[in-house]
Every structure is written in structure tokens, then in C-alpha cells.
Structure 1
Amino acid sequence: MNPVEIEQAVSLLAEQPFDPAEFAYAFLAAFGNKETTLKRLRKGGTNASDLPAGVLQRNNIHIATAAPDQVTATLAALRASPATTRAKAKFILATDGDTLEAEELAGGETIACAFTDLPNHFGFFLPLAGISTAPQIRESSFDIRATSRLNRLYVELLKDNPDWGHAAQRHAMNHFMARLIFCFFAEDTGIFHGQRRFTGTIEQMSARDASDTHQVLGDIFCAMNTPLQERTRSGLRPWADAFPYVNGGLFSGSLAVPRFSRIARSYLLHIGSLDWTRINPDIFGSMVQAIADDGERGQLGMHYTSVPNILKVLNPLFLDELRAKLDEAGDNPRTLLNLKKRIARIRVFDPACGSGNFLVIAYKQLREIEHAIHERRGEAGRKSSIPLTNFRGIELADFSAEIARLALVIAQYQCDERYLGQQEALMVFLPLSSQNWITCGNALRLDWLGICPPTGSGVRLTADDLFATPLDQAQIDFENEGGETFICGNPPYKGSQGQTGEQKADLQAIFESYTKGWKSLDYVAGWFMKAADYCNRTPAVAAFVSTNSVCQGRQVAPLWSAVFSTGCQIDFAHTSFKWANLAAHNAGVTVAIIGISTQLRSPCRLFTLDEDGQTTERQCEHINAYLVAGADVVVEAQSEPMSGLNSMNFGSMPNDGGGLLLTAQEANDAIQKHGVDGQYIRRFVGSEEFIQGKERRCIWVSQSSSAAARKSDWLAKRFDAVYLQRMASSRPTTKELAHVPYRFGEVRQTGAEAVLIVPIHSSELRAYLPVGLLPPGDIVSNAVYGLFDAPLWNLALIASRLHLVWIATVCGKLKTDFRYSNTLGWNTFPLPPLTEKNKADLTACAEGILLAREEHFPATIAELYAPGAMPANLRAAHERNDEVLERIYIGRRFKNDTERLEKLFALYTEMAAGVGRMPGKPTQKKGAWHE
């Protein structure tokens, strides 16, 4: 269940008559527990409670219903219960149907409320559904509740007005929803001058059967579009005339309203009963943006982007420096005034703004700094000089663009109310400005300088007003010419395989003149290139949240060579971390934050997460395209190892249509029932077989023994099937292979070698790469790499933390799996010269790892290396291996992965002289320069 669905279920529970016997089960059901789980709890089999009226779900929550006025005492009993501790409950909850109290045991956070108020606190319990919550979500359950109600209204209106869901009317529908959101907010914040002015008017003036609700709303909207001086001749109804003039484009244009059913009218009034003073535009916008998207409505509530994550972008981009200047200014009036003028001229531009989260938070942060300046200058209560039009955006979806504008308008009012007081805020709020600062369109096709120009000239698109024509951008008179521009955002991530034809064309238009490798780039790469071009044409700094894949593997060369060729460099970066959303049990996508500029600030700032999940900052002279402190270098695939290591190759590929591959049972039957000579049946090992311990077999026949093998009717039938499959192919090379149907399509081993096996794909959750030693006779598939008859100390290298961080950086990933590459990961691995003593020590380490695994036979690699479950002796063997290897590199253990990477890249730069390539520069290879 997503958060919106949970909120709806909790609201329904709170509205029903309280049933002490059923409450606990209904509560658990509201957080996604299946009926089978609840049945087991009811029967007592999984109910670990030791209290008479208790229900205890292990590792989750202990619930008890209380006698009247005994809620606090019952909660204390739950807290003191030995069963609560034994079952590792995360929460305790007690209620008597009138009041409710709960506690989150790890942190000690508590809630106490009326039972009917439970929906306002449902965010407190989201971990019960596997959803990790940030404090902002717990404090802003209102935003999810409002989103839930708006979604139900939206769906109901489309049911009653199907034409409004068609493309021709979709914008009108979205614009109508934006008007409603404004009205709900304005009603509760005093903007409409009177309690329940909006919903109360609808309730009183529209018929209960909703037959004229659309007309009442139309009259209200007409009033808000009519200036006060024109109302005497406008013919407004008296009750509509009580509404203020708003306009600003929000109520101009068509005032058509969809027709309401009785249910839709009820939803509208219910939404109005919520406390809209609690709206948080930082969160609300990103949640509500999915309402208008049929494809995303099922993910409603998962579009939350945490404020701390956004500040990881905004702080190093410009906020940290402004706060430092504020500290330096102290109480000096002139210095403070200069800083205030500087802030008033800052433009923040998000060319993938969605519902405006980055812009809203940037605006609120700048207002906070400005307010501090006012207080130090003795001007508390002074009006802000930060224009809302300095917060520019581009968004493809028109509803999201409208919500972004609305979120900024709400944020402005809230800041005015906080810093100036409600009366002053009301005085300056209406009418809304008619200027338009959010453009609806394709950011990769629009001219960014035309939308966020550095001077008053260059705004090429015009519109009549703020909300009415979302595809256009209004002319804005600049009072901040020459100010700084900071570009930021969280563009779409689509990988090269998931892009539409239009998106491919977007990237081609941007990159074709820079690189031939643009087809392999993630869609987000287009924003980096557009930002680099913008920074090259006018001073600016840009920072985006991106999938970390743009700084790994084969994307590095085409993207960063192009970006660096514009004169941009990486100004700051935050290495890989999880950008989680509100989906249940969702670990979130792995992202990096990368800031670029042509005017590099010194020193550069590099942020990383330590082992405890805390962010650490390191200052350095330069950050390369792999987000490592060091010189610019692109790791190029090599056909042979650069460090003198043994060659690593793919395993053998059957290309057999299944004719040469067998299950273990089929192999046994072939030998025992059909008399097949066992020498022709071999163990077949691919990635899944090696990691998961699955058993497979293959037919392995050499040319010299093929005639003898054909004497077996069973084998002959298998060979005939392979022949027919290969002859049916349209590829000439496959047809040629039909004449040798007894052997694999690609043979890379004799079958007599010992093999060091390395799966191509493996989980990023393991602390070490899976690598193993197979005995002579085993055949490895093309889903793995093999080192054939290689010295055992090679295994120690592959099993090391050093090698894992290298391949994770230079090879890249497939989704969240490591994607090993022999040419890019193994052949480029920087290794100092090894003495015979070094090799002997590493051989002993490899033997130690293999022996430690043997002690846990028949445990699989997946089981042995499961996160958090690695056996102590195996972990100790790996620690010993890491220590021996790392002492060869620097004489001690590395402090962290950052230090490991810096050393590896320094070695690679030395090793690759004449082979590696510097981004944006010609390639030097085999003594010749070439592009």
C-alpha cells in the first residue's frame, strides 16, 4: 500500500463505531497486513501478547484496547510488558475508543490524541508498512490526507464528466483543481476574510443533490476574476461579491466548471473541512502532481522528496556561502545591506521543476536569511525585496507547472505571514501577480537563456498572465540585472534502454555535435549538457541530482568529455546515496549530486556517506568525472591487462537452443538409463549456478571424440536438434556452427583447466564480489568470466574491497547490480608490482577465504555473503585478505573507500600514460594521437 491508500484506510477506521475486539486487526489491515496474516493473529498462533486484550505482531507493534480513562495506564503496561521486548516491537498503542496514545520505542517519540484525530497522525505509523519516514512526513501528514481527498474528488469528477479527461479538456480540468487548492488555502488562512467563506458558501448556496454546484463555483470564480471597481455593473450575486479579487491568471480565461454528483460535492466539502493552514508546499506539490497522470495515480503519495535531500543540492550550490557571508557580516549595517541586495538579485532556475520543490525550498531559505539581515539591521517586519519571479522553472506536465506556481505563491504568503505578521501578509498578497515564471515545455528543446536570461533582454516567450497559458512564458521586467544564476533540480533518469523515440531525439539534438556515444547516455545527461552550455554563455553554477550511472562505466567518456569541452568542471559533488521515496519497502534509487561551473570555486567540495550513514565533507583541488578527488582521466576498456595480470575471458556460449544443456536429473538419466559415457557430461556453471548453488549439466564433446559420441543414440538425437536449430538461424556464422552440433557455439576452454569464476552480474548489497575456484572438468557459461589455470593469488585480488570499489566505479551497474567487465574492470585494475613474497601471501589469503567457505558447506555464495549474515570466520578471512593487499599499496589499511579510489586512480593515471584518455582531449594510444 502507498501512503495515500493507508491514509484512506485509517480515516475510514476512525469514522466507524469503535469495536474493542476488532480494532487491532482493523488497524493492522489499514497498514497493509493481509487477511491470512490477520487470521493467524486472531487464532493466537502468531499473537505474542501477554496482556488480556493485547495483540502483538512480532517486530512490529503491540496493541491493547483499554477500559475507559485507562489509556495511559494501558500504554505503560504495554511498555513494561516482557513480551514487547521479546518480540522486538517497534511501536506500542493503547486506545479506549475516545483517546489514543502510542509510542515509537526506539526513539521514544509519542503521540496522544482523540481517537477521531488518528488520521492526522497516521504518518507516525508508516514504518509499520515498511515505509521509512522522515520527520517532515510525520509532521505533515496533512499533505498526504489532502492529496488523498483531492485524488478521490478528481477521479469522481472524471467519472461524472468523461469529456474533461480527454486531451482537449485535460488542461481545463487541471486548472480547475489548481483553483480549488488555492480556495481551500485562502479560506483557512484568512485571505477570504471570514470563516469557511468558500466551503460554507458552497454548502449553503448549492443544492444537496449537487445539481447546481458547478454554477455556484462558477459564480465564485467569476467574482475572483472581477476587480472591485467593476463589480457594481458586473451583476455578481451578493454572496459571490463577498470574495476578493484574485486573478493573477488563476481565475481568468474560461470559468467553466465540471458538473458535480452528490458524492463529488461531499468530497469537496470534506476537503474544505481539513485545516489548510497546515499545508507544506515543500511536500504537498510533489505529492499532488501525480493526481492528473493516469499512469502515475497508482503511485500517488510516493513522489515525496525530502527537504534534507534537496538541501544536499542547495546548500553547497549557494546557501552555505550566503550563510557564511551572513556570519562574516556580523552586525555591520552596510555589509548586511550589500548582502541583502545580492540575495534580491539571485535567480534560482530549475529546468525540470516538477511541482516546484527545489524552487519553494530555495525561496524559503533565502527569505530566512533575508529575515536574519532585517533583524540585525533593526528592520524586523520590513517587506521582502526577493521577487518570486527570480525562481524560474521548466516543466513538461502542465498540471505540475500549475502546482509549482501555486506552491510558490503559497510559500510567499506563508513567509510573509511568518516574518511580517498576518495582517501585513494579507495586505500584500492580493491581487496575485500576473507575471509568469514557470514555463511548460520540453526543457531539452527550449532555450534556457530565453527563459532565465542574465539581463533584462532575451525573454522571447510571452503570455497574458500567470496561470492561463502554461505553454508560454511571460515577459518579466528585471530589477535584478547582473545577479547570480544558480541552476538546480532532479531531472528524469530514464536509461538508454527505456527512452522513447522522442527522448532519444532530444539527446541526439544536444550531443550529436559533441560525441558519437550519446546513444548510451541516460536521459538526465541532456540536462548536464544544456547546463554546461548555459554556464559557458553566462556565469552560473548548476547542480543536479542524477543516477550515479553517469559517473560510472561507459557513460563517463561521452558525457563528461562533452561537458568538460565547454570549459565546465565539477565544482562540488555528493557521491552515491539512496534517494528514497515513500513506496513500501523501497530502498530508493542510487543517486549522486554533481555541481558544475566554468568558474571553479576553490577548494572543491566532495561529500560522501560514511559507514554510519553520516555525511562527511572533504575539500580538494579537483574532482574528476568518477567523483574522485584527482586528475581528469577516463578509464578506457583494454584488450589485455595493463598490470601484467592473467587474461580474463567470457565463459563458453552454447548457442544450442537448449540441446546441449541438461538438468541434473536429465544428466543422471542419460548415464544410467541410456548408457551415455559420463566423460561427455560436465557440470555447467553460470552466474546463477555459482551464486545460488543450482545444479546444471552440459554435453561437452571435443572434435576428436565426436565420432565416438555419435554412437550414442541419445547424444545423436541431441546433436540433431542442435543442427536443426542452428540451420534455422538467419546468421551465416550460426549456420556454419550447424556442422559441429556436438560443441558449443563459442568454446573458450578445453575443459581440463581449473577456473577462477567471476559472475558478470551480482548484487550491490554484498560486501565483496562473488568469485570462486572451480575444479578441472567444470564448464563455465558466457554469463561469467573465467581465469583459466591462473595462479590462485588472482582470486585474492578479485575478492578484495579494493577491486569491488574499482569495478563499481569504472564498470557501472545494471539497475542495482554490479556489472563486471573484463576489459574495463579487470584489464584496467591498477596493481603495484608484486614480489614473490606478495604473491605467496595473497595465495594464502585466497586459500583462507576458500577454506572458510568450506566450513559452512553446503551453504551457497548467496547465503554466505548475505548482508548482515556473513559468518565470522569468512569475514575475518576477507579482512585478512584486505589488510595484506592494502599494505602492498600503501603500507597500511585504507581509511575508507574514498581513499581507496583516490589511490587507485592515481596509480591508473601513472599506469595509463600513453593509454588512458583525458576528457575533452585527444586520445593517445600506441604512440599516436587520434580522436
Structure 2
Amino acid sequence: MNAVEIESAVSDLAAQPFDAAEFPYAFLAAFGNKETTLKRLRTGNNNASDVPGGVLLRNNIHIAVCDAGIVGNMLRTLRDSSATTKAKAKFILATDGQTLEAEELVSGETIACAFEDFPNHFGFLLQLAGISTIKEIKDNPIDVRATGRLNKLYVELLRENPDWAKEDRRSDMNHFMARLVFCFFAEDTDIFNGKGLFTQTVDQMSANDGSNTHQVLSEIFRAMNIKVSERANSDLRLPNWANGFPYVNGGLFSGSTEVPRFTRMARTYLMHAGALSWREINPDIFGSMIQAVADDDERGALGMHYTSVPNILKVLNPLFLDDLRAALADADDNERKLLNLRKRMARIRVFDPACGSGNFLVIAYKQMREIEAEINRRRDELHLRSEIPLTNFRGIELRDFPAEIARLALIIAEFQCDVLYRGQKDALAEFLPLNAQNWIICGNALRLDWLSICPPTGTGVKVVADDLFLTPLDQKEIDFANEGGETYICGNPPYLGSTWQSAEQKDDLRAIFDHRCKSWKSLDYVSGWFMKAADYGQRTPCTSAFVSTNSICQGQQVPILWPLVFASGHDIAFAHTSFKWNNLASHNAGVTVAVVAIGNPAPKVRRLFAMNEVGETVIKDVPYINAYLVPGANVVVGKATRPLSGLSEMSFGNKPVDGGNLLLSRDELAALRLTPQQKDRFVRRIFGSAEFIRGLERYCLWIEDAALKEALVVEGIAQRIERVRSMRLASSDKSARDMAVRAHQMREMNIAENLIITVPRTSSEARPYLPTGVIDSRSTVTSEAFALFDAPLWNMALIASRLHLIWIATVCGKLETRYRYSNTLGWNTFPVPLLTEQNKADLTRCAEDILLAREAHFPGTIADLYDPETMPDNLRHAHERNDEVLERIYIGRRFKNDTERLEKLFELYTKMTAADKAKSAAKATRGRKKTV
């Protein structure tokens, strides 16, 4: 269940007659527990409670219903219960049907309320459903409740009005919903003259069965599009009951006043929504959740789209808010400095070219209003109207409904800030009519000209406007230049790796990158926003900061994207290394992201933010940040055909190209009925990623040319070879067809004389070290693994190190979230200092100790032994010793953290590649001299 569904279920439970015996089970059902779980609790099989009448769900909650008036005592009993502790309950809850009290045991936070009011606290209990508790939702659940009410109404209206669900009418439906949101907010904040005016009017003037509700709403909407002074006109005459609504303008109520038809249930949902207190709505939260109401694909995750303010401030604070706060602190009570800062803020433009429902813009606006209010307080000018115009907060959004909600969210945010900082009277006096200027554009951000939407300082753009809420696709209406102002671009664009991009999205990237480079097809979709921002920054100074998948700062995407960005004159201004961009999803689900800011010019001191082991943010001031989000110059790691550090050559394993016929499972091998001599002569054990990590048994036919005639005597082998020949001949690949003449062999036939050091191509990111090890010369590897044939064992010590793991994670990137190893990009580029013979001997001993530690746990597999929760102590110690020996070779001590490790590795890589380039240049010069 999602947060909205839980809120609805809890509200239904509170509205029912209280049943003491049934309440604990109904409560658990409201938070998504399955009937099978409840059945086991009812029978007592899983109920670990030691309190009479109590119900205890392990790792969840201990509930008890008690006699009237002793709820507080019962909560203490639950807290002191040994069963509560033993079952690791997160919450305790007691109720007598009149009052309810609950406590979160880790934090000690409690709630106490009348029983019928406990749905107002459902956010406090969301963790019971595995949903992250976000402070804004816990403290003020109105946003989730409003989303749920509107969703029910939306679904019911589309059921009754299927034509409104069609593509050509969906925008009308969405516009209707935006009108409702405004009306609900306006009637609870005195924008309408009389609290509850809208809901009460609909309730009084429409039939209970909903049959004329659409007509009543249409007249109300029409009223708000007619100036009061014009209402006496006979052609525009309104019914008396509609005359009480003010003139709103701003395009919100212009155009068609058609309303979908209502059923009795739809009218009921409308009344339920109106009964909420919309005064407390948070536009930055509500907007981001309500956009799912109008999106069929997202409605299943309804209420999950809220991103916490702290996460958004990871972008906005270092982008410009920290600087404004520093300027405020520097100004102190100096009136001239305060005035200059206020004027500066009035010219700041915040532009989100993937704005969704406006989270970033709303939060930026509210934060700036807070700073402005403090300036006015220090200057004793609290009465002044804000000088920060909404039109300085600009956005682009592909879909029309989120774009409308973004505009509405900013309007609501402006009104709430006016009430907070100037008072209700002044806020109301200046709120209506709405301004028709449009500052949120509906269109494809990667196809639009950003300069026309947010023009450079000193230029102006004037395009004929429609109105605020009925902007056609790609319509732009910006008619002010903002002379001398600053521009900050920010947002959370869609990520989408290359595999998941639609044909249209591929075309978007093609239009941006095709004339710049030919390898752009590997880029994530978010790369388009970085490149557009870099192009924008070549025309006017600005800083742009985007939330992005961290994959654009790893692996093959770095040498494609970042040289183009750097070539535009931009550098990385600040960055926040990988963290979870969480929302309200179950189990706090979130994608791993980074925040990357580019500036032209970038500041002299760049700030690098990172999360330490205990979840605290650590800030480091550095002179440069490279494309891998490591302190250092703009170095880009490219593929190398040979190891830069004099390491052994690493090659791909053997690629079968066999249609599955040269590879054998244990059963398939047994079915060949080979003699021991034949098995020894024609078969080898073979390892790929899965075989090496999980200990799976797999074999292959390994037939030297001289043994082919003998092998063909075995009917099963002959049949398999013939199938390989047929498969290769039928291939569209010429190289595969050419291999048909040696159908008894794989494409490569690499084997060792003594041993093979191997490392799988793909492995889990959960392991503390990369899987690597040694296999004997009677075995071989597939192309799903890399191999160092007959290499010195100290090479394995390098691969098994923490240093190498973070290098691979950084420069090779990942497949989904798993490590994707590369010999040319990861091994050949790995910077290693010049090793003495003693260094090599020490590392050899470390590799041997790791192998011996594993052997002590035979038959444990790599997957078993490297589970981070159960890794054996002797194996962990062997790796720690290996890390210590290797890291002392680099800097004479252990590194403090991974950031320090990467700094050293990039420093060495830069030196090594510079030396390589110098050698190549010198060689080329000598060649030219000889030619002369």
C-alpha cells in the first residue's frame, strides 16, 4: 500500500463504530498487512504479546485495547513489556476507543489524540508499512489526505465521463482539477469572501444525486472570469448565489467553463475534499504528489512522489542560497548593505527546465522570501510588498497538468508567504486578480530554446501571451530583461539510461549531440540537460546544478559527455557525491544519485559534499573537482590497450560463439558417457562470472586440432560440433561464418601453463571486495570473465584491494547497480607506483593469505564468503592486511577514506598519462627528424 491508500484506510477505520476486539487487526490491515498474517495473529500462533488482550506483530507494533480512562497506564505497560523488547517492536499503541496514544520506541516521540482524530497522525505511523517517515508528512498530513480525496474524485469522474479520459480532452480534465484545487485553497484562506464559500455553495445548490453539480460548478467558474463591475450586463448576468465569488482572472477560469458530469459518489468525494483544511497545504509537497493523480502510469505510486526539502536543498543551498545567507550575515544591521542585498535578490532568476509540479521553484521562492523578510525586519520595513517576482521563477515541463500545478503552487506559495511575513490583510488586498504573465512553459525542454525562455542579462523577449493557465505547447511570454541579475538553473531531470530511452528521447539527444560526437548513444537522458545548460552558459554567466544518476560521472559516459561540457568553458562548481534520492515510497526506495553543478565561470574554491559512514554530510573545499567527482583537475580516463603501470596483461576469456553446444552442464557431460581418458583429453572446467562467484559447475569441449579426428569418434561430440558448424554458417556475422571451419573450437583458445588469475566481468556492489581468485591450468574462463594467464600472484592482491574496487566503481561504471569490470578501462588504467621486489613479495604473501583463508571455509563459495553480514573474520583480516600493505606502498599509511584513495589514484594517473604523452611526443619528434 502507498501513503494515500493507508490514509484512506485509517480514516475509514476511525469513522466506523469502535470494536475493541477487532480494532488491532483492522488497524494492522489498514497499514497493509496481509490476511494470512492477521489470521496467524488471531489464532495466537504469531502473537507474541504478554499483555492481556494485546496483539504484537514482530518487528512492527505492540497494540492493546484497554478500559476507559487508563490509556496512559496501558502505554507504559506496553513500553515495559519484555515481549515488546524481545519482538523488536518499533511502536506501541494503546486506545480505549475514546482516546489513542502511541510511541515510536527508538526516538521516544509520542502522539496523543481523540480516537476519531488519529487519522490526522497517520504520517507518524507510516513506518509500520515500511514507508520512510518524512518530517513534513509526519507533521502535516493534509497533503496526502488531499491527494487521496482528489484521486478518488478524478477516477470517479473519468469513469462517468469516458470522453474526458481521451487524449484530446485530458487537458480539459486536468485544467478542471487545477480550478478545484484553487477553490478549495481560496475558501479556507479568506481569498473568497466567507470561509467554506465554495463547498457550501455546491452543497446547497446541487442535488444530492449529483445530477446538476456540473451546472453549479460551471456557473461558479464563469463568475470568477467576470469582473464585478461587468456583472450587471444582461448578457453576463449570474445567478444571485454565484455573485459572491470574486473575479480571479489570470486565465485560471477563462475559456470554456464546461465541467464533467457528476454521480452521487463523485459529489460525495468533492464534499469530502472540501471538508479538509486547505489552509495548511504545502505547495512544494502537494504539487509533487498530485501530479500522479492525472498520470495513468504513475497513479499506482500515488503519494510517493514527494521529495524531501533537505534533498532539494542539497541542490539549492550551494547553488545560491548559502551565498545569500552569507551576504545577510555580512550585512548585519547595515541598512545600505541590506538594501543592496534585497535589490540583488529581486533580480535573481531561478530556472528549472524539468520542473514537474514546481518543487525546486517553490522551495527556492520560499527560502528567498524568508531571507527577504529578515532584511525587512532589520530595516523595520515589514509592511513592504515583496520585491521578488514570481516571474523570476521559470520552468519548462513536458506535461500540461504538472505545469499547471507548478504555476498554482507558486501562486499559493506567494500568498502563504505574504500572510506569514506581511499579514492576512495585506496578503488578501493584493492577491486578486491573478496576473496573467506566464512563467512555466509546457514543452520539451531538450527541443526548446532556453535563451528565449530565460533570456541572458541585458536582453528581452516578447512573445504574444495567451494566459497563465491556458498556455499552448511551446508558448513563451517573457517580456522583461532582468538587467544585471543572476541566473541559476536547477532541477531533477529524467535520468533514463540509454537502454530505456524511447525513440523520441533518442531523437532529443541526437539533436543535441550528433554534431558534437558520434558515441552519444550511450549517454543517459539527463546528459541532454547538462549540455543544454553548458550551451546556455556560453551566452550568459550562470551556474547550473542538476540531480543526476551518478552513472554520468562513471565509466564510459565520462569521456563522452564531460570533454564537451569542459570545452564550453564550464567547470564543475560543486558536487554532492552519491546518495539516495528518497521519496515516500515503501522501504524508503530511492535511486542513487549525485548532484553536479557546472559554472561559467566556476568559483575559485569548489565545494565537494559527501556522506560519511554514519550518514553525516562532510564538506571539503577544493581548487578543482573532476568529472568523477573527485578533487583534481579535469582528467578523463580513457581506454588503454596495455597496462600503464607495468602490470601483467589482462585479456578476455574465451568466447564460445557456439549456440550453447561447446558448453556443458554436469548432466550434459555425463550424457556423453566419456571414458576418463576422453574426458581428460576433450573436456575442461570453465568459469564465467556466475560459475566463479556461486560455485556453479560448467564444462566445455576443449579439442585441439590434433585431437579432432579422435574426438569425432564420440557420437555426442560429433553431433555438437555439427550443430556449432550449422549455427555459425547461418550467422549474419561474417566472423562467425569464418569460424565454421573450426567448429570444434571456441573463438579464442587461451589457456595457462600454470595458473589463471581471474576476475568476473559483473559482480554485486554489495560485496566489500571485487571477486577474484586463481584457477588451475586444467580449467579455463569464458568471455564473462577476464584472465591473467600465468601472471605473478601479486597481481591478484591488487585486484582484491579496496583501492582497485573504488577505481573500478568510478572509471568503469556499473551495469544497473552491479560492478561492470573492464580490462581496458579499469585494469590497464589502474595507477600503481613502481613496485620493488620486496613490495611484490609482500603482496604475493597477502594474496596467498586470502586464498588460504578461503580454503579454510571450503566448500564455501565466493558468494557465501563475501556476504558483508557473514564474512569470516580470518578472511576479513586477510583483506585488511592486504589493504594495509598496498596502501603503505602508495602513501606510507592507510588512507582515511575512499575520497582520499581516489584523489591519490587520479593524481598518479595524471602523472602517468602525462609521462606517456611526453614519451609519445618525443618518439614522434625523433621519427620526423629521421624522415628529414
For Structure 1 versus Structure 2, the TM-score category normalised by the shorter chain is: over 0.9
- 1:396 partner letter: L
Aligned match of 1:873: 874
Task: Give the Å deviation of 1:177.
Answer: 0.4
**CA–CA distance in structure 1, aligned partners of residues 32 and 827 of structure 2:** 46
2:162 matched residue in structure 1: 162
Cα distance in 2 between the residues matched to 1:310 and 1:731: 49
* Runs of at least 5 residues in structure 2 that lack an aligned partner in the other structure: 927-932
Q: Distance in 1 between matches of 2:862 and 2:115?
A: 50
The one-character-per-residue Cα deviations of 1:277-332 (angstroms, maximum 9, x if unpaired) are 12111111111112211122112222111111110111111000110010011101
- 1:915 is displaced (CA, Å) by 5.1
Residue in structure 1 matched with residue 207 of structure 2 by the alignment: 207
* Correspondences of 1:35-74 after superposition (within 5 Å): 35-74=35-74
Contact persistence 1:547–1:592 (CA under 8 A): yes
**Which moved further from structure 2: 559-568 or 477-486?**
477-486
Change (3 A) 1:110 1:547: same
**Counterpart amino acid of residue 446 in structure 1:** L
Partner-residue secondary structure (3-state), 1:912? helix
Q: Does the 8 Å contact 1:575/1:608 carry over to 2?
A: yes
Structure 1 position 423, deviation (Å): 1.6
The structure 2 residue matched to 1:576, chosen from 575, 578, 595, is 578
In the alignment, structure 1 residue 241 sits paired with structure 2 residue 243 = yes
Is the CA contact 1:456–1:477 (under 8 Å) kept in the aligned structure 2? no
Counterpart check, 1:79 vs 2:115: no
More off after superposition, 406-415 vs 29-38 = 29-38
Q: How does 1:837-856 map to 2 (within 5 A)?
A: 837-856=838-857
Q: What is the rounded CA distance, in whole Å, between the counterparts of 1:454 and 1:736 in structure 2?
A: 60
1:407 alignment counterpart: 409
- Cα offset, 1:69, TM superposition: 2.2
Distance in 1 (alpha carbons) for counterparts of 2:876 and 2:453: 56
- Aligned ranges 1:802-821 → 2 under 5 Å: 802-821=803-822
The amino acid of 1:431's aligned partner reads P
Find the counterpart in structure 1 of residue 2 from structure 2.
2
Could you tell me which residue of structure 2 aligns to residue 446 of structure 1? 448
For residue 695 of structure 1, the aligned residue among 689, 694, 697 is 697
SS at 1:611 equivalent = coil
Out of 614, 617, 637, the residue aligned to residue 612 of structure 1 is: 614
Does the CA contact (< 8 Å) of 1:462 and 1:472 recur in 2?
no
**Separation in structure 2 between the aligned mates of residue 165 and residue 134 of structure 1, nearest angstrom:** 33
Q: Could you tell me whether the CA contact under 8 Å between 2:462 and 2:479 is conserved in 1?
A: no
What are the within-5 Å matches in structure 2 for residues 490-509 of structure 1? 490-509=492-511
How far apart, in 1, do the equivalents of 2:746 and 2:297 lie?
45
Q: Which amino acid aligns with 1:164?
A: W
Contact 1:350–1:489 (Cα < 8 Å) also in 2: yes
Contact 1:604 1:619 in 2 (8 A): yes
Choose the corresponding residue for 1:298, options 297, 300, 306. Answer: 300
Which sits farther off after the overlay, 81-90 or 868-877?
A: 868-877
- The answer as to whether partners of 2:756 and 2:774 remain within 8 angstroms in 1 is yes
Instruction: Report sequence identity in percent.
Output: 64
Aligned twin of 1:546: 548
Helix, strand or coil for the counterpart of 1:102? strand
Counterpart of 2:929 in structure 1 is none
Task: Call closer, same or farther: CA 1:895–1:186 in 2, change over 3 Å.
Answer: same
Alignment of 1:63-462 (within 5 A): 63-233=63-233, 234-455=236-457, 457-462=459-464
Summarize deviations over 1:584-631 as a string: whole Å, max 9, x none.
235421111111111121211111111111111111111111111111
TM-score by length of 1: 0.96
Q: In the alignment, does 2:718 pair up with 1:716? A: yes
Shift of 1:914: 5.8
CA distance change for structure 1 residues 546 and 715 in 2, over 3 Å: closer, same or farther?
A: same
- CA–CA separation in structure 1 for the residues paired with 2:372 and 2:763: 50
Distance 1:117 1:860 in 2: 55
Could you tell me whether the CA contact under 8 Å between 1:465 and 1:474 is conserved in 2? no
User: Is the 8 Å Cα contact of residues 189 and 195 (structure 2) preserved in structure 1?
Assistant: no
Aligned partners of 2:697 and 2:16: how far apart in 1? 55
SS at match of 1:73: helix
For residues 152 and 264 of structure 2, the distance between their equivalents in structure 1, rounded to whole angstroms, comes to 13
Query: Against the structure 1 CA distance between its residues 872 and 41, is the aligned structure 2 distance closer, same or farther, given a 3 Å change threshold?
Result: farther
Per-residue Cα deviation, 1:231-278 (whole angstroms, up to 9, x for no partner): 122311111111111111111111111111111111111111111112
- Cα 1:48/1:863, change in 2 over 3 Å: farther
State whether residues 737 and 745 of structure 1, in contact with CA within 8 Å, keep that contact through their aligned partners in structure 2.
yes
Looking at structure 2, the residues matched to 331 and 284 of structure 1 have their Cα atoms a distance apart, in angstroms, of: 37
Give the drift of 1:512: 2.4
Structure 1 residues 532 and 732: alpha-carbon distance in aligned structure 2, compared to 1, 3 A threshold = closer
Distance 2:223 2:322 in 1: 45
Shift of 1:479: 7.5
Structure 1 residue 675: Cα displacement = 9.6
Structure 2 length normalisation: TM-score? 0.96
Report the alpha carbon displacement of residue 51 of structure 1 after superposing the two structures with TM: 1.6
Q: What are the superposed Cα offsets for residues 674-693 of structure 1, whole Å, 9 maximum, x if unpaired?
A: 99635433322211122223
Instruction: Specify whether residues 652 and 30 from structure 1 end up closer, same or farther in structure 2 by C-alpha distance, changes over 3 A only.
Output: farther
Distance (Å, rounded) in 2 between the aligned partners of 1:32 and 1:781: 46
Partner of 2:20: 20
Q: Which residue of 1 aligns with 2:658?
A: 656
Paired residue for 1:590?
Answer: 592
Q: Give SS of 2:620's match.
A: strand
AA aligned to 1:59 is N
Closer, same or farther: CA 199–528 of 1 in aligned 2, 3 Å: same
Look up the equivalent residue of 1:863 and give its one-letter code: D
User: For residues 537-567 of structure 1, what are the alpha-carbon distances to aligned partners after superposition, in whole Å with 9 as ceiling and x for unaligned?
Assistant: 0111111111111111111122111111111
2:532 to 530, 533, 538: 530
SS in 2 for 1:208: coil
The 1:473–1:381 alpha-carbon spacing in structure 2 relative to 1, beyond 3 Å, is: farther
Deviation larger for 780-789 or 351-360? 780-789
| Aligned match for 2:688, one of 686, 693, 696 | 686
Show CA shifts across 1:752-791 (max 9, x none): 5422221111122222111122223222121111112222
Which shows bigger deviation, 398-407 or 659-668? 659-668
- 1:18 CA drift (Å): 2.7
Q: How many Å apart are 1:456 and its aligned residue?
A: 6.8
- Per mean C-alpha deviation after superposition, the further-off stretch among 355-364 and 861-870 is 861-870
User: 1:354 Cα deviation (Å)?
Assistant: 0.5
Q: Is the 8 A contact 1:466 1:474 kept in 2?
A: no
Aligned partner of residue 857 in structure 1, secondary structure: coil
Where structure 1 has 5 or more consecutive residues not aligned to the other structure, the ranges are: 918-922
AA paired with 1:86? K
* Segment of structure 1 superposing worse, 143-152 or 256-265: 143-152
2:298 and 2:227 map into 1 onto residues whose CA distance is 38
Deviations 1:694-745 (A, max 9, x none): 2223332222222222222232232233233333323232233333333223
Letter in 1 for 2:504: E
3-state DSSP of counterpart to 2:232: helix
Distance 1:78 1:277 in 2: 37
**What is aligned with 2:707?**
705
Q: Is the 8 A contact 1:493 1:547 kept in 2?
A: yes
Q: For the structure 1 residues 674 and 24, does the alpha-carbon distance in structure 2 shift closer, same or farther, using more than 3 Å as the test?
A: farther
Kept after mapping to 2: 8 A contact 1:450/1:460: no
Matching residue's letter, 1:909: T
Provide, for residues 53-80 of structure 1, a one-character-per-residue CA deviation record: whole Å limited to 9, x for no partner.
Answer: 2222222222222222222222111111
Distance change (3 Å), C-alpha of 1:162 and 1:587: closer
Q: In the TM superposition, what is the alpha-carbon distance from 1:457 to its structure 2 partner?
A: 4.1
Q: What is the DSSP-based 3-state SS (H/G/I as helix, E as strand, rest coil) of the residue aligned with 1:112? A: strand
Q: CA RMSD in A?
A: 2.1
- 1:882 corresponding residue in structure 2: 883
In 2, the alpha carbon distance for the partners of 1:46 and 1:714 equals: 56
Bigger shift: 298-307 or 12-21? 12-21
Question: What is the distance in 2 between the residues matched to 1:733 and 1:479?
Answer: 61
Task: Report the Cα distance in structure 1 between the residues aligned to 2:709 and 2:25, rounded to whole angstroms.
Answer: 70
Tell me, in whole angstroms, the C-alpha distance in 2 between the residues paired with 1:285 and 1:679.
Answer: 70
SS in 2 for 1:758: strand
Q: Note the alpha carbon deviations across 1:126-148, whole angstroms, 9 max, x for none.
A: 22222222212322322112111
* Secondary structure, aligned partner of 1:51: coil
